[in-house]
Amino acid sequence: MKSKGFKVRDTFCVRADVDSLTGLRKGIPKLLGLAERMQVKASVYSIVGWEGDFYSVLKHRLLGKKRFSMPHANGIFKPSSPEIARMLFFPTPFYKQKEFKEIAERGHELGVHGFVHARWNNLSGIDAEREFGQMIAGFEGVFGKRPESFSAPLEAESREIARLVEKSGFECRSYAGEKVFLQKLENKGKGVVMVPITISESKTCQPIIEQLLSEGRTKRQAAEFLKKKIEEKIEKKQLASFYIHPEVEALHAFEVLEDVFRHVKELGLKTKTSLEIARKFKKKSN
């Protein structure tokens, strides 16, 4: 179900997916500090539980392929041996970290991004009901209310996931695409507003800055490319949105983010969270 003529004009949105404890503890404080200095609201989607259980960490983080080589930003981004050991033997709940709670306390959107991230590598083997139950319960235990927005790890998609997102009462889901629209599977349900990540150069929706640097572009080239993409979206009267991993961009490509955020302000764009965009859509649709 789509709202005819709905346009997100002159609007910018940045989403940060927190997939690692390093991203939460070190990347998020740097990202939020920059965002607040530039008066940009961030949509942060975090794991609620931990990175992975023993088997999934062993398979996907230790034995899996390296994420990519990033010659202009301090080498290869893959968890260090101590981090792998911690993931394997001492899983650390994200929802118990002070940085998790501080995201919402500082006025940014805090959505959920799965309970155990690595489980989402194999959707056919995931107990989706359990995953959603744990994710919601962990969030509720911290804030005393249910989460309002969701993004799927690895942009995973299935009808069962879509059903559970709607059943769980989420207002908003961030996804890789172009349009803001209402996804409604149940006739009696309220549906979920789908808010897109519109700037990505890969079919897997790899974060645009990560991809550009992995291809060998300099940080300056990456920033100029992204600024041009934002301008193109605005000229087409579309939402300009991209996403990052705080452990990568906030720690190793900070100047790219700083340059892009500054450009957003120079263009006079409104900066909105995914949830704010979803609520505006609902208001216009009623």
Counting every residue written for the chain, the total comes to 286
Q: How confident is the model at residue 263 (pLDDT cuts 50, 70, 90)?
A: very high
Residue 198 counted as domain residue: yes
Q: What is the mean pLDDT of residues 259-266?
A: 98
Q: What is the mean pLDDT of residues 157-180?
A: 95
Q: Tell me: the pLDDT tens digits for 26-38?
A: 999 999 999 999 9
Is residue 236 classed as helix, strand or coil in its secondary structure?
coil
For residues 43 and 74, the model is more confident at 43
> Percent of the chain, pLDDT > 90?
70
Residue 1 counted as domain residue: no
Residue 84 counted as domain residue: yes
Annotate 81-115 with b (16+ C-beta within 10 A) or e (fewer).
Answer: eebbebbbeebeebbebebbeebbebebbbbbbbb
Residue 154 counted as domain residue: yes
Instruction: Indicate the number of domains in the chain.
Output: 1
Give the per-residue pLDDT at 286: 73
Residue 6 counted as domain residue: no
Q: Tell me: the pLDDT tens digits for 175-230?
A: 999 999 999 887 666 899 999 999 987 666 689 999 999 889 999 999 999 999 99
Q: How many CB atoms lie within 10 A of CB 283?
A: 8
Q: What is the mean pLDDT of residues 141-152?
A: 98
**Model confidence at 1: pLDDT above 60:** no
Give the per-residue pLDDT at 205: 67
Expressed as residue numbers, the domain containing 36 is: 11-285
**CA 157, 133, 128, 276: dihedral to nearest 10 degrees?**
0
Q: Tell me: the pLDDT tens digits for 225-247?
A: 999 999 999 999 999 999 999 99
Instruction: Give the Cα separation of 210 and 188 in Å (integer).
Output: 41
**Model confidence at 65: pLDDT above 80:** no
Q: How confident is the model at residue 68 (pLDDT cuts 50, 70, 90)?
A: very low
Question: Contact at 8 Å (CB) between 258 and 33?
Answer: no
Q: What does the mean pLDDT of the chain come to?
A: 88
Give the per-residue pLDDT at 63: 55
Residue 76 counted as domain residue: yes
Residue 37 counted as domain residue: yes
Give the per-residue pLDDT at 185: 86
Residue 169 counted as domain residue: yes
Beta strand pairing call for 181-183 and 192-197:
antiparallel
Q: What is the mean pLDDT of residues 51-56?
A: 74
Q: How confident is the model at residue 102 (pLDDT cuts 50, 70, 90)?
A: very high
Q: Is 188 exposed, middle or buried (0-12, 13-18, 19+ CB in 10 A)?
A: exposed
Give the per-residue pLDDT at 21: 94
**CATH code of the domain covering residue 139:** 3.20.20.370
